[in-house]
Each structure stands twice: as C-alpha cells, then as structure tokens.
Amino acid sequence: MILPMKKVSILVLDSEREEAMRKIRKLGLVHVDAQSYTGDKMNRLKDETAALEQAISLISDLVDKKAMKKLEKTEMPFAEALSAARQVVALGSEKKDCQNACISAKAELEQYQGWGEIKPADFEYLAGKGIVLSMYEISSKEYTSIAAEIQTLSVGRDKSKTYMLVVEDESLAEKPVLPDSARRIQLPSASTQELNAQIEDGQKRIAELDDEIRSYMKYIPAMKDVLAEENKEIEFDACLRGMEEAQLSDLPENAPALAILNGYVPEEDMDRLKEVAKENAWGIVSEDPTMEDNVPTKLHNNKFVSLIYPLTDFLGTVPGYYEQDISGYFLVFMLIFSGIIFGDGGYGLLITLLGLAMFLPAVKSGKSPSAWSKLIILFGVVTIVWGILICSWFGMDVALVPQWLQKISLPIISNVNEDVLWYPFWTNGEAGLTTAQNLQILCFVLALIQLSIAHILGIIRDRRSLLVLSDIGSLMQVIGMFYVVLSLVVNGSVFRLRLVINGIPIGTICIALVLVGFIMYFVFANYEGSIVKSLVESMKNIISMLLGIVNVFSDIVSYIRLWAVGLAGAAIAETFNQMAGGFMGHMILIFLAIFILIFGHGLNMILNLLSVIVHGVRLNTLEFSSHVGINWSGHKYEPFKE
C-alpha cells in the first residue's frame, strides 16, 4: 500500500537555521524538496566530488577486484585524500592525451600501409632541387593507361591498387589529366618511422601512468569516505539554501527573522516530528497534499510482497502518490512469467542454487540475507515447478527423462503428450487441441486474470462515482475479447464464434460483452459529474476510443510472447544438446561436448534472463499497468537523514 503523507512547513529562527537542519537530518523523517542552486561553495563541492568519483573510477578500472575488497580502512586527513584524487585525475588526463595521440598516429599510419617508409623531408629536399613529387593511389587496371607524357614511378601494388609517385612538370602549358580512379594522397605529418616511434613511446608512457595510478589504490577507502561526506554536505547545503530562499516577509519590525522548510512526512510519523518540534520550539504547519503537489511515494507491504522492491528499484518504477500500489500483483505474475520464459526445471535448479549461494553465507555469518537472494530463490522454485508441469529438464528428449518425472507432469501441457490431441466435450471428437495450443490458451488465461484484476481495482477505486461504469465496461470487453482471441488465434473450430453449449450461445454472449462494454466505456470514460459532457469528450476522441477495442485485443494477444519465448529457449537448449551429443561417443572429444553444453545452456540462460527483463517486465509495467491506469509517474520517498 501507499502510505498517506502530510505536507509540512517547519518554521525556525533564522539564526538557528543551520542547527535546526542538523536536527531535522538526525530525525530522518522529512522528505525535503531541495533547491537546485549554484554558488562558490556548491561549485567547489561539486568540483571536489567529481574529482573523487573520477579518481575512484580510474583506480578501480586498473586494480584487481579481490585486492580492492582486502583494502583496510586507514585514517587519512581530508586534504590528503582530496589531493591524492586530484593527482590521479591529472594522471588520468595525461593518459587520455597519450591514448588520443596513439590513436591519431595509428589512424595516420593506416593510410600509408602500401607505401612503405615515407619521409616528408625527402620530398622537401627534392622539391628544392626542382623535382616536385606527388603521391597517388590508382586502380591497377588503369595504371597502364596513364598518358606517356606523365612521368610516374610505381612504389607498390596490392590486389586492386597501385601506389605511385607523379612528377609535377610545371613546364607543360597544358597538364595531362590522370584517370578518374587516381586519388591524391597527402604527405603524413611526420615520417612513418617517427609515427611508429610516437606510438611506441605513447604506449610505454601509458603503461607507466597505469602503474602510477595503481599506486594510489591504498587511498580508495579514504576517498570513498570523503566522497560520502561531500555528498552529504551538498545535500545539506541544498536544503539549507532552500530554507534561506523561503524566508518569511511582512513581519513586525522588531520580530526575529524566521526561516521555513517545506517537505513531506508520512502521516504515521507526524507525532514524532511534533515532539521534536516542541522540544526545539519550532513551528509546524501540516496539511493534506493536493493533486498539484509533487508528493513522494512511500510503499509499505508485508515481507513477501516487499521482495519485489529490489526489482522495481532496479527498474526505477515508482507509482505516483495518487496511483495504486500493484506490488503484490507485480510479484506474483512476475514469478509466473519468469517460470514460463525460462521454461525448464533444470534451469530452475541452477537458479535456486545461485540464490542459495547468496542466501546461506549471510545466514551463517549472522547477517540478514539480501532481498535479491530471496527473490532469486523464488524465481528458481517457480521455474522448477513449471519444469515439472511441462516435463522439461535441460532441454532433454522426453524419452530420456526418468519415468517418475514424466508421470508427475500435467498431461494437458506436458511434453510427454506433445503428439496427443485433446478434444473438448463440446466438439464431439471433431476438433481437438494440441499441447502447444493448450499452452497458448494458458497464456491467454493469464492475460484474462491479470487484466481482469486491473479493472476490478479500477471498479474499487471509482466505486463512488458513475466512472465505475466505464471500469465495468472495460472488464466486459476483456472477458468478451478473451474468447475472440481464442477463436482467431488458437483454434477457430474449437472456439467457434457461434458456439452453443447446452443451449447457451457462448460466442454470441462474448461478442455482446465486447459491444456493450465498449458502449459503457464510451459513455462514461470521461465522466466528471455530467454524462453529456463525458459523451461529448468521447465523441471528440472517437478515433482513439474505437482503437481502444483493438488495444484490448492486442494486449491479450501480447501474452502469447510467454509461450513463444519459452519455445525458443527450449529449441536452443535442444540444439546444443544435439551438437554435444555428436561428440559423446568419443572419449577424446567428450571435453568438447561438456564445453558445448556449458556454453550453450549458459548462453540460453542469459538470453532467458534478458527475455524476463524485456517481456516479463513489459507485461507488468505496460499492458497490466495501462489497464490499471498507472503511469509510474512517482518518485521515491527519500527523507533527509544521516
């Protein structure tokens, strides 16, 4: 759930502004809208933090990560750590200049690969003697067609080009023209020998600079501490400046100057803020925020639902304060989607082991396991369950899977019954469904459930307004369109649009749900107290309203990506198994087979992970969220604290 917030203004004596800010930071409850400003102090702080960040990055790129972890913290004066950072930045700048010079010299040398050794001084010497030479590249085929009066000298040749020197004869009244393929080459800035020497010297200097930068590794812990302090100081100064700019005016002449800090505090923490304010003789004004306020979002859920926070933090998705919290639904469906996309019980075992490898060491050391480790274990367990249901284990042929694993799979979607047709009772054995079609239906059922939940949440949200009728209409469209998708995408013979079961016209009812639902949505989607105005607004946007039906269809069909990506992963796993199988009969080549299996399945798992991020996240943050009405427009509650 999204915790209710209060908009607060804290009044303090201007003379006590800095002391008050330190107490507010120690309290750690107020989300401050810090002001962005420039000034000598802020510019200095930002310059120092930039130097520290750059120095840490330069050193970290060159040293061993294990060595970094073993570094012990040593007490070091602020000025010494900052001075070391600036020295590293200077070395890094020199290194960059050397790298650019080497790149430039290499690029220049590449232009003269077919020419051999070139010395611009020789050309200048000959020009002083009256012999002006120019460098040209020409097609080897056209070299022989050069006019006889043009004096040339071939100095090299490759498959397609001839490298030649041309004597520029100034005595000719009318200069002969070279063939079109001839291209004049400018002399290099230095001799090729000098360019090679520049590259060699530059690379040598770069190696020396790398060694110098590495020598500053011992300063890393101190630099990080100083950087943390600098960032705190920047935040503090920004908040302090915010108070300074919000000083009250129109006070009595003899009244002491006051400063005010504006921010947001969770409603449940207001009593603590009031106690501190009373102790320090501060004034507090609190009120409920309005729609115009930029209110931060603070989420509070149980331990299970909170497991999704690492993923949403990684994605940077935060619901707006006035939007709904869908963390629980996000987690549940994300787990299901990831299981289907990985689609293999063997992969699930590996994922679970990875999660346990992160979880158990923390438990043994008495620390609290990270949320990521718990989430990864959950992903692994769900993938194992899905692998059991469809009988998929490291992409093996079903015939090679143990019988007991085949028996506990779910027959209607199991690979064991891949060639079996399933006949729904209403088809009378005339039309059946394949295992692949059953999996497609399952994906669309997930779409029906998730999108229906989205509109049920809308019904609950708008239950006190006629706007709820548009939510009901949207829900009717989803239910009716679900059957239309089964008919058009899965199997039109089994799911006929004119299907009648026990006298109930299923197909007709579903089409009616779509049409009636659209009418209800069209009439009430823009309701704000007047049905007529809502209808007029809908008429203004009639094209987008009509496209809404298409969007419902496409959103449901979009869930078939789960089956398609899972199928692709299974095909990749099977392909690598077949490749490795060809080497299994040879003792010498068995190591190659093992390498192929490790590489192939490792690559497949990486691709599956990317698919989870792309497709699994998309279904939650786009299809589902758009039906709920969430734009992820919020920003996280981050109180000003130590």
Pairing assessment for the beta strands 161-167 and 258-266 based on DSSP bridges:
unpaired
Buried b / exposed e across 408-433, counting CB within 10 Å, b at 16+? ebeeebbbbbeeeebeeeebeeebeb
Euclidean distance between CA atoms 285 and 67, whole angstroms: 53
Question: Given pLDDT bands bounded at 50, 70 and 90, which one contains residue 32?
Answer: confident
- pLDDT at residue 535 tops 80: yes
From 260, 255, 264, select the one nearest 240 (Cα to Cα).
260
User: Which residues lie closer than 8 Å to 285 by C-beta, 6 or more apart?
Assistant: 8, 9, 11
578-582 long-range contacts, Cβ below 8 Å, gap at least 24?
none
Burial class (CB in 10 A: 0-12, 13-18, 19+), 69: exposed
Q: Which pairing describes strands 283-287 and 5-13: parallel, antiparallel, or unpaired?
A: antiparallel
3-state class of 92 per DSSP?
helix
Sequence-ordered list of residues with C-beta below 8 angstroms from that of 124, at least 6 positions apart, any chain: none
pLDDT tens, position by position, 85-144:
999 999 999 999 999 999 999 988 888 888 888 899 989 998 888 888 989 998 888 888
Average pLDDT (10-23) is 84
> For residue 386, what pLDDT is reported?
94
In this predicted model, which residue has the larger pLDDT, 243 or 603?
Answer: 603
Percentage of the chain surpassing pLDDT 70? 94
Cβ neighbors of 412 (< 8 A, separation 6 or more) are: 422, 435, 438
Task: Give the max Cα distance, the chain.
Answer: 109
Cα–Cα distance, 144 to 131 (Å, whole number): 23
Which of the four pLDDT bands, split at 50, 70 and 90, describes residue 171?
Answer: low
Q: Is residue 76 over pLDDT 80?
A: no
Q: What is the pLDDT of residue 39?
A: 66
CA dihedral (546, 547, 552, 558) in degrees, to 10, reads 170
Angle at 623 between CA 618 and CA 628, to 5 degrees: 125
Question: What is d(CA 247, CA 143) in angstroms, rounded to the nearest whole number?
Answer: 83
CA angle 157, 160, 166 (to 5 degrees): 50
Please answer whether residues 98 and 205 qualify as being in contact, where contact means their C-beta atoms are separated by less than 8 angstroms. Answer: yes
- Per-residue pLDDT band for 392 (boundaries 50, 70, 90) equals very high
- Grouping H, G, I as helix, E, B as strand and the rest as coil, residue 605 is helix
CA distance linking residue 84 with residue 74, whole number of Å: 14
Distance CA 487, CA 184 (A): 69
Check pLDDT > 80 for residue 247.
no
Q: What's 325-384 look like in SS3? A: CCHHHHHHHHHHHHHHHHCCHHHHHHHHHHHHHHHHHHHHCCCCCCHHHHHHHHHHHHHH
List the one residue out of 294, 369, 301 whose CA is nearest residue 638.
294
CA dihedral sign, ordered 321, 323, 329, 334:
negative
Give me the pLDDT at residue 37, please.
Answer: 58
Residue that has been written with the tokens 């507090």 in this structure: 284
Cα separation, 370 vs 393, in Å, equals 29
Mean pLDDT of all residues belonging to the chain: 87
Instruction: Give the per-residue pLDDT at 36.
Output: 55
Does the structure show a pLDDT above 60 at 265?
yes
Does 481 or 641 have the greater pLDDT score? Answer: 481
Residue 573 is which amino acid?
Answer: A
320, 462, 523, 534, 543 from 528: Cα distances, Å: 21, 11, 12, 7, 21
Give, as one character, the DSSP assignment of residue 236: H
- pLDDT confidence band for 15 (50 / 70 / 90): confident
Q: Which amino acid is at 187?
A: L
Distance separating alpha carbons of residues 18 and 102, to the nearest angstrom: 52
The mean pLDDT of 506-510, rounded to a whole number, is: 91
Q: What is the pLDDT of residue 244?
A: 58
pLDDT tens column, 451-492: 999 999 999 998 888 989 999 999 999 999 999 999 999 998
Is 272 exposed, middle or buried (CB count within 10 Å of its CB: 0-12, 13-18, 19+)?
middle
* Euclidean distance between the first and the last CA atom of the chain, given in angstroms as a whole number: 26
Quote the CA–CA distance of 506 and 527 in Å, as a whole number: 32
Query: Strand 161-167's sheet: what is its strand order?
Result: 152-157, 161-167, 133-139, 183-185
Amino acid at the residue 483: Y
DSSP-assigned letter for residue 501: B
The two three-digit tokens of residue 531, written as one number: 């049905």
Which range, 140-149, 265-274, 578-587, has the best average confidence (pLDDT)?
A: 265-274
Which whole-number Å values give the CA distances from 420 to 403, 436, 483, 562, 563, in the listed order?
Answer: 18, 10, 23, 22, 18
Do 386 and 352 form a contact (C-beta atoms < 8 A)? no
Chain segment 46-61, per-residue pLDDT in tens: 888 888 989 888 988 8
Instruction: Tell me: pLDDT of 510 over 90.
Output: yes
- Assign 375 a pLDDT band (cuts: 50, 70, 90): very high
Tens digit of each residue's pLDDT (9 = 90 or more) over 578-630: 888 777 767 777 888 888 888 888 998 999 999 998 898 999 988 999 899 88
* Helix (H), strand (E) at residue 312: helix 309-315
* Residue 435 Rama label (left phi>0; alpha psi -120 to 50; beta): alpha
By residue count, the chain amounts to 642
Q: How far apart are CA 562 and CA 30, in angstroms?
A: 43
Helix 40-60 vs helix 78-110: crossing angle, to nearest 10: 60
